[in-house]
């Protein structure tokens, strides 16, 4: 399952969107189609399900839709904004001091 990290804060609309990284303080801006892919990924249980819905929405072939959705997912994962089930969660930089 693909999802945004706890430190990533999305602002997604039909007209595009952005994701704020709490770690870096930077925004990653999304095109309308990339924003739609992220919304579908967040609402789906699998990347394949999101790809099917993306194909229906934009009238694309299953292969093209899957490629588009995977590209958005892998780009956000590479930026540290998202993770999939194979990516372990990042540990916090903050540690608890012991008395």
The predicted model scores a pTM of 0.82
Tell which wins on pLDDT, 92 or 80: 80
Check residue 86 and give its pLDDT. 61
Could you tell me what percent of the chain has a pLDDT over 70? 85
Q: Which two tokens stand for residue 28?
A: 């990653």
C-alpha distance across the termini of the chain, in Å: 39
Residue 9 pLDDT class (50, 70, 90 cuts)? very high
* Segments of 1-95 assigned E as strands: 3-4, 8-13, 16-21, 27-30, 82-83
- Model confidence pLDDT, tens digit, residues 32-77: 999 999 999 999 999 999 999 999 999 999 999 999 999 999 999 9
The H or E element containing residue 63 is helix 62-78
């Amino acid at each position: 399952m693909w999802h945004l990290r706890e430190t990533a804060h999305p602002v997604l609309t039909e007209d595009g969107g952005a994701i704020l990284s709490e770690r870096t303080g930077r925004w990653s801006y999304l095109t309308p189609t990339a924003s739609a892919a992220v919304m579908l990924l967040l609402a789906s249980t699998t990347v394949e399900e999101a790809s099917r819905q993306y194909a229906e929405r934009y009238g694309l072939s299953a292969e093209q839709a899957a490629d588009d959705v995977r590209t958005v997912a892998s780009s956000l994962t590479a930026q540290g904004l998202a993770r999939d089930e194979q990516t372990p969660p990042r540990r916090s930089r903050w540690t608890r001091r012991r008395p």
